Amino acid sequence: MFEEGQLYSPVTADADGGVQVHLGENHPGFRDEAYRARRNEIAAAAVAWEPGQPVPRIDYAEAEDEVWRIVSHELAPKHEQYAHSEYLAAKQALGLPAERVPQLDEVSSLINPLTGWSYIAAPGLVELRRFYAALGWRVFHSTQYVRHPSQPLYTPEPDIIHEVMGHANQLASPRFARLTEAAGVASTRLETDAGMQFLADVFWFSLEFGVIHEQGELKAYGAGILSSFGEMDAFRSMEIRPLDLVQMGTLNYDITAYQPVLFAADSLDQLEDVVGDFFDNCSDDSIAELRSKVPAA
Helix axes 193-203, 128-136, angle to 10 degrees: 60
Task: Give catalytic status of residue 283 as yes or no.
Answer: no
Cβ-contact 247, 262 below 8 angstroms: no
- pLDDT tens figures, 206-263: 999 999 999 999 999 999 999 999 999 999 999 999 999 999 999 998 877 889 999 9
pLDDT above 90 for 1:
no
Say what the pLDDT of residue 48 is: 93
Closest CA to 158 of 179, 172, 169, 144: 144
Beta-bridge partner residues of 142: 121
The answer to whether 162 is annotated as binding is yes
pLDDT above 70 for 101:
yes
pLDDT above 90 for 195:
yes
Among 79, 108, 162, 228, the active-site one is 162
Say what the pLDDT of residue 297 is: 64
Q: pLDDT-based confidence at 84, cuts 50/70/90?
A: very high
Q: For the residues 118-140, what does the mean pLDDT come to?
A: 96
Among 167, 181, 206, 228, the active-site one is 167
Say what the pLDDT of residue 5 is: 36
pTM greater than the 0.85 cutoff: yes
- pLDDT tens figures, 250-279: 999 887 788 999 999 999 999 999 999 999
Say what the pLDDT of residue 18 is: 87
* Rounded distance between C-alpha atoms, residue 236 and residue 146, angstroms: 28
Domains of the chain, by residue range, sit at 4-293
**Which amino acid would we find at residue 14?**
D
The percent of residues above 70 in pLDDT, for the chain, comes to: 97
Task: Give catalytic status of residue 22 as yes or no.
Answer: no
Architecture per CATH, domain 4-293, reads as: Orthogonal Bundle (1.10)
Closest CA to 225 of 235, 215, 216, 217: 235
pLDDT above 90 for 15:
no
Q: For the residues 43-69, what does the mean pLDDT come to?
A: 96
